[in-house]
Amino acid sequence: MRTLLLGGAGFIGLHLARRLLADGHAVTVVDDFSRGRRDRDLEGMPLDVRDGDLTDPRTYRALEHGWDQIFMLAAVVGVRNVERDPSRVLRVNTLALMHLLDWIERDEPLFFASTSEAYAGGVSAGLVPVPTPESVPLVIEDVASPRFSYAISKLHGEAAVLHGAHAVVGRFHNVYGPRMGADHVIPELSLRAMRGENPFTLYGSEQSRAFCYVDDAVEAMVRLMATPAAFGRIVHIGDDTEETNIADLAKLVLRIAGSVGGSVAGRDPVIDPVPAPAGSVARRCPDLSLLRRLTGFEPRVSLEEGVRRTFDWYRRSAVAAVVEI
């Protein structure tokens, strides 16, 4: 099949591209490389890669039609980016999608990447259960809060694609893995463990998350796009089998760092717990009943295995960077 990945040079996009190529797809990536990178991983794949600003309608007009699948992954993401410039989040995420909807043909199947941040307000207000199903009411506690700008942009996107395209909406829950940057909890903990930080500052140690390894997330995406009954629906993508608190996650990362001869090997850093950043939700875990019912999906990569793969990738990347210097 011919598949178009919009924002395909980023974290999930690259892993999805690798899987689609392995399945025999012809894959075209469009990205402005503001977050995704033209690195060895991307350059080594047989992709049609095109530079393009998806907030500019001319980028879409330059694309042909006739795609078997389109994945809309382009967005400004990451807590630091969101809090630093919420207006950019709203502008980029909204414009890129609305220009897509002006361009796309009705029979071209679309996957829209959304977020579990949609539930943050409801969970914090005690109105939403955890594990969380897709059917709960959504709450924006403070429309002026920078942190909510990302969720607002994605909720707008969900409504737009469900009314304006033949689409599946996937709400991602804490997907992690190699090549996701340094501003997310598992890579951040891994890089700090490699540096041998002691004391080891830990934000929000009592909070809990259900992390999903990227290969499992990609499997769920592929299955949803192959399931006619998923179209016109919002479906969770995540892993509900191993919810963990951040303190135990840090201990796992430190143990893995020591086992591979990292800079913390042979000694146990003192963990210094400090409060979580303001606005951070205390608990997040999806109810995957709908995803299971539609596709038969089950997560395959355990938290320990996924963290180990992620740590190893960042360790190899750090060594490669030193060698290149």
Would you say 237 and 171 are in contact if contact means Cβ atoms under 8 Å apart? yes
Residue 7: closest CA among 43, 31, 37: 31
Query: Residue 203: beta bridge partners?
Result: 274
* Residues 153-166: tens digit of each pLDDT: 999 999 999 999 99
Sequence spans of domains, the chain: 2-177+211-241+293-299
45 contact partners, CB below 8 Å, separation of at least 6: 14, 17, 18, 21
- Enter the tokens of residue 44: 């080594």
Contacts of residue 154, Cβ cutoff 8 Å, sequence gap at least 6: 75, 93, 114, 115, 117, 118
> Of 236, 19, 22, 15, which Cα lies nearest the Cα of 117?
236
pLDDT greater at residue 38 or residue 232: 232
Whether 1 and 70 have beta carbons less than 8 Å apart is answered as no
pLDDT digits (tens, 9 = 90+) for 14-34: 999 999 999 999 999 999 988
Find where tokens 């400004």 sit. Answer: 76
Dist CA 42 CA 65 (whole Å): 24
Element (H, E) at 72: strand 69-72
Is 318's pLDDT higher than 80? no
- Residue range 52-64: average pLDDT? 97
Mean pLDDT of 51-74: 97
Residue 156: both structure tokens together: 């707008």
Helix (H, G, I), strand (E, B) or coil at 150: helix
The DSSP bridge pattern shows strands 200-203 and 175-176 to be unpaired
> CA 236 to CA 74: how far, in whole Å?
18
Question: Which range among 113-117, 151-155, 207-211, 261-265 shows the weakest confidence by mean pLDDT?
Answer: 261-265
User: What is the separation of C-alpha 199 from the centre of its chain, rounded to a whole number of angstroms?
Assistant: 29
- The predicted-structure confidence for 179-205, as pLDDT tens digits, reads as follows 998 889 999 999 999 999 999 999 999
State the average pLDDT over residues 81-93.
93
Whether 237 shows a pLDDT value over 60: the answer reads: yes
The encoded tokens of residue 277 equal: 């950043």
Would you identify the CATH topology of the domain 2-177+211-241+293-299?
Rossmann fold (3.40.50)
b/e string for 74-83 if b means 16 or more Cβ within 10 A?
bbbbbbebbb
Query: Which amino acid is residue 36, in one-letter code?
Result: G
Specify the pTM: 0.94
Give the residues across from 297 on adjacent strands: none
Strand pairing class (208-209; 244-245): antiparallel
Q: Is a pLDDT exceeding 80 seen at residue 261?
A: no
